[in-house]
Amino acid sequence: KVLPACLLLALLLLGPALSEQDKRGLIFNLDIGELCLQSAQCKSGCCHRASGLSLARCAPQAAEFQGCSPKNIYGVYYKCPCERGLTCDADKTIVGSITNKNFGVCKDPQDK
């Protein structure tokens, strides 16, 4: 009867530790500054790379008047997409995407 009591105690102590681990994983729910391969891994929704040779890290989304990139299918950005409610005023053509010239500035669509 001692073994089940010890097992119950161990489960009670490990429960909170295991649930805390689920909030931030090794692959998803990554914080700002952590290495990433796709924006879907980051809590912020932006996996940012400073140059073609640099490692990508999770970064905050671009604020109003900051440089931005339109959302793309690649999932790694040289400039992060805009925060919610803002639009990225940029070249959204396929040529701009291929040549990495599709950068713009975040703007509030309600400002004229």
Go through the domains of the chain in sequence order and give each one's CATH number: 25-107 (2.10.80.10)
Write down the pLDDT at residue 19.
45
Tens digits of residue pLDDT in 70-103: 887 778 999 999 999 999 988 766 655 555 667 9
Residue 67 CA, distance from chain mean position: 17
Please give the Cα distance from 92 to 70 (Å, whole number): 7
Percent of the chain topping pLDDT 90: 52
Tell me if the pTM is above 0.85: no
Q: Count the alpha carbons within 13 Å of 106 in the hemisphere toward its beta carbon.
A: 18
Write down the pLDDT at residue 20.
47
In this structure, what DSSP letter does residue 41 have? G
From residue 111, alpha-carbon distances to 62, 81, 82 in Å are 17, 19, 15
Residues ≥6 apart with Cβ < 8 Å to 66: 105, 106
Cα dihedral 59, 64, 67, 71, rounded to 10, equals 70
